[in-house]
Structure 1
């Protein structure tokens, strides 16, 4: 329970923050959030099952609310607060703005840290090796050696933190990959690497009472048995942007691996073993011989699968432009089913031995001249370990028997050279989240501005597997914004539905009427193709447009801001990725146009498999999957308009289905309570 001392600490901290916030005025919604979140984590509703689903509308002050509610209690109980976000933008806001402000003004002392994956950090030793040994670089990378020189100097002078997010200059993906930390190059046991950015960052974690991570790192750490973060029973989790967690979980626990020509990379593994016999001490000989035996065994298991491909490919890929084939009900060819468990097991054993060998390579004391060769060996080990890991994860998923309805999506993808990659993805991560997180955590708050679907928490409860939790609390706090006074939703009369052939032409014809002069407009499209068609036609009519894909997102937004600052007309065109996480307050957005409801086309193997499973259970995929997903995206898109209490503007939706279809009214009713102007 919350002691009187902690309650008073929360009240005092809130009072301090009020005094520090410019133009502060009391928000009843924020007070309710603080009280409910604090009661949930303190076990006020259930002694052991401390879980809350919290929907907090735009402008409720959600971030400060959970910091106030959770940190004082966590410190009193010696628990670590782990805040997980889905987007880099929110992570940066928390680390650079919200948490420093809270710590400075709340009078509560605590340490905090941002935890990022290993690949977000540079390995300074690798960077130095490339500068010392330029022949390690490809010709393209050699042209960029001046960039590496700049980075090395910036690190030395402490002007760069050694991570991808604070790079002082632009570095392309290939060059970054060549200097990024990985477990093979950047071992903590090697003295040369102890001062590398990754290990320095990890050393700071143990001191911090508040850790900020992303969803993927949280899932990876839970799956690895808490290699980085404290055990769940010692953590109070705040999972912000929690509507992303189910999809993020599916992505993380999915797997893929190449099936074509396994001999090519397994031969490289054999050649590597031969090379290492020459350079490693005799104590590693047993491991090298074992690795070669496992390599041969894995090849003998993968060869029959490869041979079966020529027969199957002709049946699967019957159309010239077809790139994917999904296994209905996740039913694999019989041979693959028989081989799956043995392949997964053999790949895992080989990976374990390779990791031991990698440690031995790193431990060898070398002269500077021989480090060039060591770096090359570690690079090869890293690449081959990745191949083994991919095979292990894929075939482990393939080895799981599938009842009907299946709980996995399984498919193969074919590239232009007719090389095949196999994929497996869970349809739901509810059981996994239950085992790793919800049943283990001391407390867990899941929050977002869009958790309900069609005004109900049922959909997110089902996706997260929380329906049967005895202590689960739900709370919905609406935005304090004056939607009625500050905004209007306009539904102009449209002749065509978006699925009709004449819709794009009608869009080109009607859109100019809804792009007011000397205002900031954002036009959202459901398809990239349609956006380009409309952009070309409007430019021919004399419109100046900023179109997604024609420059970087940041460059487009900078141009947009410049035009708005000079009271010029500015029109941004974007697709789905512009409908969430885009913050355009004040005069940066006064006119939002949504061309059509963002229904996803269920063409991806994962979406098709999910629909199949719902149908198999006697359900309706359109009602159970498509409508909830679209309603959620529509709410997120409409959330772009009012970002601050004083903002004003209009939303124009050019999709007649909101009026003509049975689900239209329910979707409209999930949107903020703007005034409505329906022209039908």
Structure 2
């Protein structure tokens, strides 16, 4: 590969469109020969116009720096000649090369011709688990220096190093992986096939030395197996001094806290005696290690695992990565832990092998296969959540998720989910998530059967997980996607490929084919009629509108049941004919080639998907006896594409108790713990929703003394009353408050909303104003990426503001100076029209209870407490909690919110006064 020569280019410009007059202000080219950076060309360019202010701030390139620089017309030939004979590389060639070619054309010189490499495309393949593919974040993750992002010279140099890192990684891939990558690389957008070809040639000259396993010719890294450990004897420490000594071994700077030791004792007592307990644990006492220590001791003592459940897979991985070694250090013995997730979180190697054979041809599918081939050489878990994929890639992943416990002979011992389950048999701590514990299936039953107890962390979220896990969701776009996979007659689609196999095998029957197509037409037509019924009726049009989204309870519609019956019958008929269509192939499967078997397996996969969907259809539209509430959601701007129908239980407690029944029957200890398990006005609020018996007390521990001394609460008293003004007027005042606060705190600010619509309006208003151009405005639902990717971006920028909705009110940890203030836009009441909330409050009202005081108010108070918990994560943290909603001081229930917050100074002030006080604090 040493004979490849790369010219790595980066441009800084006045904007994105040369057709509209945008021009280059800096160009940098880094030349790579024989894998070494040999030369560089860096020039400022006079754009012949003023550089926009925001471009100056972004690039730190001023008008003064470019005023004596040449126009691009003066150096265009020079640049064109420099690039001749080199492979053009850039981080997004679609911008840099396209812009440059248009500038060459404008200057009347021939466009550049040659091969090109896009390091965005390349790095997505070679680093499929990277958090972000933006140059700044990617280079930081890979340890590449990029001190001045958005300067062409620094960006080009960083891109050159990134290119070399990608090439270096290619060189170490096994031959079988390189062969598959090379075959697929011809479908890519840039000329990466050159690199994969040369790497493959080199790999074939070497003696294979890979330590990877192979599955049907696919190299993969096998996950580690946990084995039983002998001769570990532990005794739970009974005295305070013994507990302190244990914790000092893990934390040399440890300071004894009575609340932490109390929690350890409560967890131990529950696990030892097999009782249920609830413990509210405030931030700052080391909650996780406090339950892991007694859990590990009990597990080693009984030789049975303790299950630890938390809300998300991310948090489960975090406990595994950050806490288990701490516990081992404290106990002076190795503690064995494993993470177990739901089966569908793992890749099925067999399904992947089938799809590789089946001949996928779309860019998204080919690209995702390449990412997976590289990822399998490095993943130790097989957890597909490690991957950072496009939307099209996620559709591919859905087809290769593990969905069955039945394994082929060659999958035994190598299937990632099976190995994870086997590791549970030998682990001391099994870390999982709420969704798995609330699901049905042998995985959950196995770990419960073989465990000696359960710790439920973030226990209040178990309620939300109970609703989500038991939801049934119909999505119009998803149904049409599945229907399209099996009905399309286009070349390369599974229907056409199955027909070709039948013809080759002389098994094709025109009548059966005609019957299949007729059955599909009837199914499709009846489905369209049902969709029209769901989207076009007057009752739907009169539904509640929230922003552009409309939702209405299914029971409020006057839909004809017969319409849904017809879909069920026609769908059943089509599935039967689709199965019958390939019956002869199923009987002669042994005579089929591997590729033909893969195509047949794909046909069966899509038929099985339809079988799942027919069950959902019955649950949603035809089963009148089941519990729960069903509602329709759609965006009025996109009908029927946005149509969603959701069914959810109304009560969480029965769902939870049923899911954990075997734990309670066998009297295994269960510890419910969270920072928010109670409300002063209703201490059993969370307990009731978890189904915890009245006789089980809620033990409430106190935060360390002086823990919240760095916090202040501001109530802004000159905001408009949210219930008396139009939303647009309120949004304008909110935007003003955010801007003024950001100017003083210099970012490091969360703004928490209860409505995505209000978040969008506020973010748009601030962005359009240009008042915070110097700041990274990261917005949930607008900025791309998951909650945790957005959070990582927030931490990376010194000047950042994060706009978040419901999921950012809790489970977010930003310790230290990274977060200086939180703005609460409005008190976090659930929307009265939110379907489950509406059904729940109706149920309470019917039983003679006041739904507001029994449910709406305590739920909102808990959420506000959770929001405050994001601010102070350690006793050295400082921060300001700013509430803009005046109802906290104008309504009688407002004091209940304040009583629920920690005892910190509360100041009722005008916005201007608050800004002055913040200014004084920062000046000090």
1:207–1:372 CA distance, 2 compared to 1 (3 A): same
On the 8 A contact 2:364/2:392 being kept in 1, the answer is no
Task: Give 1:4-83 correspondences, 5 Å limit.
Answer: 6-8=235-237, 15-43=245-273, 50-83=275-308
Deviation at 1:255, TM superposition (A): 1.2
Q: Cα gap change, 1:495/1:229 in structure 2, threshold over 3 Å: closer, same or farther? A: same
1:262-318, Cα deviation, whole Å (9 max, x unpaired): 99689869x98x969x98xxxxxxxxx9xxx9x999999999898677667424333
> How far apart are residue 102 of structure 1 and its match?
0.6
Alignment of 1:636-675 (within 5 A): 636-675=866-905
Stretch moving more, 554-563 or 593-602: 554-563
User: Could you give the per-residue CA deviations for residues 500-546 of structure 1, whole angstroms, max 9, x where no partner exists?
Assistant: 23323333444444332556332323332343244236534766342
Residue 675 of structure 2 corresponds to residue 449 of structure 1: yes
Give how far 1:235 is off.
4.1
Q: Does 1:178 align with 2:384?
A: no
CA distance in 1, matches of 2:410, 2:590: 11
CA contact 1:483–1:672 (8 Å) conserved in 2: no
1:32-84 Cα deviation digits (max 9, x unpaired): 111112222222xxx6xx21121101012111111122332233334321111
Q: What is the CA–CA distance in structure 2 between the aligned matches of 1:557 and 1:414, rounded to whole Å?
A: 28
Equivalent position of 2:428 in the other structure: 209
Question: Alignment partner for residue 532 of structure 1, among 741, 756, 763?
Answer: 763
The SS at the match of 1:444 is strand
8 Å CA contact 2:749–2:800 kept in 1: the answer is yes
State the secondary structure of the residue aligned to 1:152: helix
Cα offset, 1:667, TM superposition: 0.6
1:567-586 superposed matches below 5 A: 569-586=799-816
**TM-score, reference length from structure 2:** 0.60
The equivalent of 1:547 in structure 2 is 778
Q: Secondary structure of 2:307's match?
A: strand
Unmatched 5+ stretches in structure 2 = 1-232, 489-493, 503-511, 911-924
Deviation at 1:483, TM superposition (A): 4.7
In structure 2, distance between residues paired with 1:166 and 1:182 = 13
* Cα-to-partner distance string for 1:371-406 (whole Å, 9 max, x where unaligned): 223223323323332332233245347666569xx7
Aligned CA distance change for structure 1 residues 411 and 319 (closer, same or farther; 3 Å): closer
Q: State the SS of the aligned residue for 2:713.
A: strand
Distance 1:308-1:507 versus aligned 2 partners, 3 A rule? closer
Q: Retained in 1: the 8 A contact 2:421–2:443?
A: no
Higher relative contact order (CA 8 A, sep 6+): 1
Cα distance in 1 for partners of 2:851, 2:635 equals 27
Displacement of 1:225 in angstroms is 5.0
1:644 deviates by: 1.3
2:416 alignment partner in structure 1 = 197
Counting only pairs closer than 5 Å after superposition, residues 291-440 of structure 1 correspond to structure 2 as 313-318=536-541, 326-327=552-553, 335=561, 364-365=589-590, 370-393=593-616, 395-396=618-619, 407-411=628-632, 416-418=638-640, 422-438=645-661, 440=663
Structure 1 residues without counterparts, runs of 5 or longer: 280-288
C-alpha distance in 2 between matches for 1:559 and 1:397:
40
Cα distance, 1:65–1:318 mapped onto 2, change above 3 Å: same
- Distance change >3 Å, CA 334–CA 668, structure 1 → 2: same
Q: State the Cα deviation string for residues 542-565 of structure 1 (Å, max 9, x = none).
A: 66342313354666555544554x
Instruction: Check the 8 A contact 1:266/1:299 in 2, yes or no.
Output: no
Structure ID, larger Rg: 2
Paired with 1:148 and 1:309, the residues of 2 have a C-alpha distance of: 34
SS of equivalent to 2:646: strand
**How much does 1:584 deviate?**
1.7
* 8 Å contact from structure 2 (residues 307, 430) kept in 1: yes
1:105 equivalent in structure 2:
330
CA distance in 2, matches of 1:542, 1:153: 39
Q: Shift in Å at residue 658 of structure 1?
A: 0.8
2:471 to 221, 244, 254: 254
Contact 1:115 1:213 in 2 (8 A): yes
- Quick one: distance in 2 between partners of 1:630 and 1:671? 12
Secondary structure at 2:447's aligned position in 1? coil
Q: Which position in structure 2 is the counterpart of 1:282?
A: none
Secondary structure in 2 matching 1:491: strand
2:307/2:451 contact within 8 Å kept: no
Q: Deviations over 1:616-649 (max 9, x none)?
A: 2233333333222221121111111111111112
Equivalent residue in structure 2 for 1:240, among 431, 445, 457: 457
Residues 13 and 68 in structure 1, CA contact (< 8 A), matched pair in contact too: no
Q: Residue 152 of structure 1 corresponds to which residue in structure 2?
A: 373
Aligned equivalents of 1:393 and 1:570: distance in 2?
43
Q: Aligned with 1:136: secondary structure?
A: coil
- C-alpha distance in 2 between matches for 1:219 and 1:584: 29
Q: CA deviation at 1:461?
A: 1.8
Q: Aligned-pair distance for 1:330?
A: 8.0
Using a 3 Å threshold, how does the CA distance of structure 1 residues 28 and 187 change in structure 2: closer, same or farther?
same
Q: 1:14 to 1:102 in 2, by over 3 A?
A: farther
Q: Could you state the TM-score of these two structures normalised by the residue count of structure 1?
A: 0.79
Whole-angstrom CA distance in 2 between matches of 1:592 and 1:412: 31
* Cα RMSD, aligned residues only: 4.7
Q: 1:662 offset after TM fit, Å?
A: 0.8
> Secondary structure of the equivalent of 2:376?
helix
Is 1:523 equivalent to 2:748 in the alignment? Answer: no
SS in structure 2 of the partner of residue 644 of structure 1 = coil
What secondary structure sits across from 1:547 in the alignment?
strand
| Comparing 185-194 and 451-460, the one that deviates more | 185-194
Q: Is the contact made by 1:256 and 1:394 (CA closer than 8 Å) also made in structure 2?
A: no
CA contact (8 A) 1:87 1:214 kept: yes
Q: Give the number of equivalent residue pairs.
A: 640
Find the residue that maps to 2:872 and give its secondary structure: coil
| Aligned partners of 2:482 and 2:610 also within 8 Å | no
CA contact (8 A) 1:239 1:447 kept: yes
Deviations 1:121-161 (A, max 9, x none): 3334444555566x32323333x2xx6446435534x4654
Counterpart residue number, 1:285 = none
Q: 1:648 to 1:163 in 2, by over 3 A?
A: same
Q: How many Å separate the matches in 1 of 2:603 and 2:403?
A: 10
Q: What CA deviation, in whole Å up to 9, does each residue of 1:396-450 have, x standing for no partner?
A: 47666569xx753454768845476543211113112222315643221111111
Q: Is 2:906 the counterpart of 1:679?
A: no
- Please state if 1:489 is matched with 2:713: yes
